[in-house]
A = this chain, B = another copy of it.
């Protein structure tokens, strides 16, 4: 390997000598991400904008033609609203199923509305039923009808069946296009069948599902096994261990968890009579996993979980205001606690200087515990069987953290304000608040989970309210008792 040139665009038979290439140069490849290779380049995007501004559809075609559908969708999302409108008048006829299914929810209505009927019909005709369902469920009524009208009979039936399942269920994630074989078939029979069905097979499939005469799935065979087995082998003999059909009513987050936990690639979906109604593939599960994470992280920060980088000012404002409003209410609550000690503060102003430190440390420690707890709940690693051990651990860590920072802060306060009593007060308040922060950080999400709410939702606000109130109360209350 060492004696081959780095560039491989030499003619195949020309083995260039390499003794003059220094060793170090060979060992260090160019870093892969100097220019981020997975994102359309800045220049390309500028050229696309130019083509739009010059209303030049031919140029637009030429620029977009080599791009992947997902990247084209990203480009469309990132256009300003005015440019997007021009873009659609120039290019809407070219939007195919692949692009359409990649378009972000926030602008789907707009895009579908602007697409000519015939282009929409062409686009949806190439889409698998799960992608159509995903497209449709976020649309407003008139655009929804427009898409349904564009479908042919059998697709519409499949989509409408999917839509009978609750939102965020496996039934909504699945595609109804499945590849099945009777359970008694051999490998040879199955392969012959697949060759004849070529036209009607889904774009991507990874297993052949074996069904009994009542269409109950009884096992599945990976295509790799199917290809490598002898023709006479009964399909039943080469099924995979990982087979686990999923209830169409199962929650999509649980489905994503199962894919991740059990390394599934595709899995059959069954209705309430245990009959096969569809199949979920890993790319859909990966998308759900991604969405769930996004939701957790945004909710923890108190941002509407539908937020996207292409939102307008008004949409953004609307997502942020409610949580800031809640935060204002809780901040005022904490102020009431401070107001209870106005007389004390007016005598010892040092208290006003130091009190935000106690509150801030509590808020931070609480958020740490909270985040770990929310993640552990989301990954199902915080369960009934270890919950008390984890709560106890957090409480102990809270006290130990408190002791550490009590010492540090005690010394700081002592030096700064030259008061041993003040130092003692802040030290004790620190231990109390960090202990309470740990308990709040773990018990708030656990309680939310127990009552069936999302543990990420609003729990940050609950926790910091607790740590602010307790922090101010412990510090100022102790100060009033000890220092006056």
Contacts and interface: CB of A to CB of B under 8 A. Distances in A.
A303 B372 contact: yes
A101 to B, nearest CB: 10
Interface in A289-327: 289-290, 293-294, 296-298, 300-303, 307-313, 316-317, 320-321, 323-324, 327
Interface stretch (A57-65, A136-144, A222-230): A222-230
Contact of A274 (B8, B272, B353, B384): B8
B331 A397 contact: no
A386 interface: yes
Contacts of A228: 194-195, 197-198, 201
Contacts of A38: 254, 257-258, 261, 380
Given A198-B228, A396-B313, A397-B317, A331 B356 contact: yes
Nearest to A104: B381
Interface size, A (range): 35 or more
A447 interface: no
A393 B80 contact: no
B368 A320 contact: yes
Contacts of A32: 247, 249-251, 254
A75 to B, nearest CB: 9
A406 to B, nearest CB: 11
Number of copies: 2
Interface stretch (A89-97, A113-121, A147-155, A279-287): A279-287
Interface of A: 1, 4, 6, 8, 12, 26, 29, 31-33, 36-39, 42, 45-46, 68, 70-71, 74, 77-78, 80, 179, 191, 194-195, 197-198, 201-202, 204-206, 212-214, 216, 222-224, 226-230, 247, 249-251, 254, 257-263, 265, 271-275, 282-283, 285-287, 289-290, 293-294, 296-298, 300-303, 307-313, 316-317, 320-321, 323-324, 327-328, 331-332, 334-335, 338-339, 342, 345-346, 349-357, 359-361, 364-365, 367-368, 370-372, 374-376, 380-386, 389-390, 393-394, 396-397, 400-401, 404-405, 408-409, 412, 464, 468, 472
